[in-house]
Amino acid sequence: MGEMLTGAQILCRELAAAGIDTIFGYPGGAIMPFYHALPEFPGLRHILVRHEQAAAHAADGYARATGRVGVCVATSGPGATNLVTGLATAHMDSSPVLAITGQVSRPMIGRDAFQETDVIGLTLPITKYSRLVPDITQLAASVREAIAIATEGRPGPVVLDVPKDVQNQKLAYEPGPRGGAPGLAARGQSGNGGAPTSASLEESVREAARLIGEASRPLLMIGHGVILGNAYDEVRALAEKTGIPVITTLLGISAFPESHPLHLGMPGMHGEVHVNRAIQHADLIVGIGLRFDDRVTGNTAAFAPRAKIVHVELDRAEIGKNVKTAVGIVGDARTVASLLTDQVRARNCDDWMAEIRGFVRPRAESFSGDLSPEAILASIHEITGGRCTIVTDVGQHQMWVAKHYPYERANTHITSGGLGTMGFAVPAAMGVHLARPSETVWAISGDGGFQMNMAEMATMVQEGLSVKMAIFNNGYLGMVRQWQQFFHEKRYSCTPIWSPDYVKLADAYGIPGWRVEQRTQLDDVVRAASVHRGPALVEFVIAQEANVFPMIPPGGSLSEPIEAAPAGAPAV
Nearest to 326 by CA among 209, 196, 195, 194: 209
- H/E segment holding residue 162: strand 158-163
The distance of closest approach from Cβ of residue 514 to ligand TPP in the complex, given in angstroms and rounded to an integer, is 19
By a kind-dependent CB cut-off of 5 to 8 A, residue 561 interacts, out of ligand TPP, Mg ion, none, with none
Cα gap 216→233, rounded to integer Å: 24
Q: Given the residues 479, 482, 484, 485, select the one marked as catalytic.
A: 479
The CB-side HSE value for 527 (13 A sphere, CA atoms) comes to 7
Cα gap 64→70, rounded to integer Å: 8
Is residue 373 part of the contact set for Mg ion (CB under 5 A)?
A: no
The distance of closest approach from Cβ of residue 479 to ligand TPP in the complex, given in angstroms and rounded to an integer, is 4
Residues with Cβ within 8 Å of 169's Cβ and at least 6 positions away in sequence, in order, are: 6, 7, 135, 136
Cβ proximity to ligand TPP: between 218 and 417 the closer is 417
The distance of closest approach from Cβ of residue 110 to Mg ion in the complex, given in angstroms and rounded to an integer, is 44
Alpha-carbon 4 to chain mean position: 41
Q: Which letter does DSSP use for residue 158 in this model? A: E
Q: Which stretch binds ligand TPP (CB under 6 A): 243-251, 313-321, 471-479, 501-509?
A: 471-479
479 among known catalytic residues: yes
Is residue 449 part of the contact set for ligand TPP (CB under 6 A)?
A: yes
Q: Are 497 and 478 in contact (CB under 8 A)?
A: no
By a kind-dependent CB cut-off of 5 to 8 A, residue 417 interacts, out of Mg ion, ligand TPP, none, with none
Position among 116, 234, 447, 545 found at the interface with Mg ion (CB under 5 A): 447
Is residue 547 part of the contact set for ligand TPP (CB under 6 A)?
A: no
The distance of closest approach from Cβ of residue 123 to ligand TPP in the complex, given in angstroms and rounded to an integer, is 18
Cβ proximity to ligand TPP: between 61 and 395 the closer is 395
Count the helix, strand and coil residues of the chain and give each as a percent rounded to the nearest 5. Answer: 40, 15, 40
Q: Which letter does DSSP use for residue 108 in this model? A: G
Position among 29, 67, 194, 420 found at the interface with ligand TPP (CB under 6 A): 420
540 among known catalytic residues: no
Q: Given the residues 14, 52, 272, 539, select the one marked as catalytic.
A: 52
Beta bridge partners of residue 6, listed in sequence order: 170
The contact pattern for ligand TPP, residues 378-417, with x = CB under 6 A and - = no contact, is ---------------xxxxx--------------------
Q: Which stretch binds ligand TPP (CB under 6 A): 35-43, 51-59, 212-220, 474-482?
A: 474-482
By a kind-dependent CB cut-off of 5 to 8 A, residue 313 interacts, out of ligand TPP, Mg ion, none, with none
Which residues, 144 to 163, sit near ligand TPP by CB under 6 A?
none
Q: Are 103 and 121 in contact (CB under 8 A)?
A: no
Cβ proximity to Mg ion: between 7 and 373 the closer is 373
| DSSP string covering 230-249 | T-HHHHHHHHHHHT--EEE-
Residue 119 CB neighbour total at 10 angstroms = 26
Ramachandran sector of residue 345 (left: φ over 0; alpha: ψ -120 to 50; beta: rest) = beta
Q: Are 65 and 97 in contact (CB under 8 A)?
A: no
For residues 184, 435, 88, 321, the Cα torsion angle rounded to the nearest 10 degrees is -70
Is residue 446 part of the contact set for Mg ion (CB under 5 A)?
A: yes
Which residues, 463 to 492, sit near Mg ion by CB under 5 A?
474, 476, 478
Nearest to 436 by CA among 22, 66, 151, 72: 66
Position among 478, 535, 550, 561 found at the interface with ligand TPP (CB under 6 A): 478
The distance of closest approach from Cβ of residue 471 to ligand TPP in the complex, given in angstroms and rounded to an integer, is 9
Count the site residues for ligand TPP by CB under 6 A.
20
Is residue 102 part of the contact set for ligand TPP (CB under 6 A)?
A: no
Is residue 245 part of the contact set for ligand TPP (CB under 6 A)?
A: no
Alpha-carbon 571 to chain mean position: 33
Position among 62, 352, 405, 476 found at the interface with ligand TPP (CB under 6 A): 476
Number of H helices, E strands in the chain: 22, 20
Position among 447, 463, 539, 545 found at the interface with ligand TPP (CB under 6 A): 447
Position among 384, 415, 474, 557 found at the interface with ligand TPP (CB under 6 A): 474
115 among known catalytic residues: yes
By a kind-dependent CB cut-off of 5 to 8 A, residue 334 interacts, out of ligand TPP, Mg ion, none, with none
Is residue 477 part of the contact set for ligand TPP (CB under 6 A)?
A: yes
Which residues, 289 to 308, sit near ligand TPP by CB under 6 A?
none
Cα gap 70→68, rounded to integer Å: 6
Cβ proximity to ligand TPP: between 189 and 379 the closer is 379
Cα gap 214→217, rounded to integer Å: 9
In angstroms, the Cα distances linking 375 to 133, 185, 367, 520 are 52, 52, 11, 11
Q: Given the residues 9, 103, 115, 482, select the one marked as catalytic.
A: 115
Cβ proximity to ligand TPP: between 466 and 499 the closer is 499
Q: Are 348 and 212 in contact (CB under 8 A)?
A: no
Is residue 14 part of the contact set for Mg ion (CB under 5 A)?
A: no
52 among known catalytic residues: yes
Beta bridge partners of residue 172, listed in sequence order: 4
Could you give the angle at the alpha carbon of 440 between the alpha carbons of 435 and 444, nearest 5°?
95
Cβ proximity to ligand TPP: between 280 and 396 the closer is 396
What is the three-class DSSP state of 460?
A: helix
399 among known catalytic residues: no
CA dihedral over 207, 210, 212, 217, signed as positive or negative: negative
Name the site residues for Mg ion (rule: CB under 5 A).
446-447, 474, 476, 478
Query: Which positions are annotated as active-site residues?
Result: 52, 114-115, 164, 479
Name the site residues for ligand TPP (rule: CB under 6 A).
393-397, 420-423, 446-449, 472, 474, 476-480
